[in-house]
Structure 1
Amino acid sequence: MGQIEWAMWANEQALAAGLIMLTGGIVAVAGQFKGWYFAAYAIAAGVLVCLLEYPRSKRKKGSTMERCGQKYLTAVVKVFGPLTRNYYIRAILHAALAVPAGFLLSTILGTVCLGIASGIYLLAAVRGEEWRPIEQKPQERPHVGDTIKQPPSNPPPRPPADARKKLPAEVGGQVNPIPVEAE
């Protein structure tokens, strides 16, 4: 059985937590809750978490499905270097971002989810995982001369090569344009 890549699970959990925190913050600000300043904080923290977590990391084995438009945010995450690549730092960042949003009922679900993501990131960091960008390999275009082995000798429609009958004239090297039928 293969190794579990915990960072992949933490990424999905943190992205969902950011969206939940953002939604809860919008609800609290729009509903004019008493602690609306916690809701405003939750909106900002939710946006920050979503921007940080949107680009997926490259898996060690197998293929990684890239999210739509991920390459633009991957460039931003790469700029910050070890601050965004190291999962110990992400675990601490998510735990710190989760605390203030926990004081408001509409954002508490996002807080709990972000706390869980922080724990999973800590587990991933202990296991030695690190964020690696998904980089596109340039696709080599095949050369025209390499793809065509032998051009066809007779016009379409052509029967399969094994179904064609060899005429006696073809064996000698010349083809008779008018077929002769033996009686």
Structure 2
Amino acid sequence: MHLTQTAGVIGGLAASFVRVPTEVVKTRMQMGQFSSAPNAVRLIVSKEGFKGLYAGYGSFLLRDLPFDAIQFCIYEQLRIGYKIAAQRDLNGAENAVIGAFAGAVTGAVTTPLDVIKTRLMIQGSANQYKGVMDCVQTVIREEGPAALLKGIGPRVLWIGIGGSIFFGVLESTKRKLAERRPPSSSLPHLNSKQD
């Protein structure tokens, strides 16, 4: 279980270097701040410097690293339990349903982190919030605790669908690769000495 969580965290950390700038641009375009992605990148860098593309980086990691660890852990544990109960390998549809459930649950649990990440990313150079804790306190004070769950329905839906596709394809790919791998007994024995 710890290996799965660690793999999820390391993968998420590596991906964050690309995902954060794209998330900043996407989020600001959704808010109507920019008309095109190239325009957004150019203006963000000119007004905020290169670091503007990484606005909310800490809150992104705060959302995504636990998300990756939780989702992979839920998926693996449910898959193992279901496989033991069924006493057979799972088919693609079963893996997809388990992936959808793992994604949906994780999406719901991490919605407050997503709300905070979004607020920090769209603030731009206005610096409305001084950091993650200030953002949480301000949102709760001004809008109430329920504001931390804004967008939970669509988030659970799209992450559930994404989890279904991701884990369905993952297991299918693993199975195909395993089928193509020659049995260990048929591998030629390598002589440690070079002729």
Q: Above 0.5 in TM-score?
A: no
TM-score (norm 1): 0.28
TM-score (norm 2): 0.27
The structure with the largest alpha-carbon Rg is 1
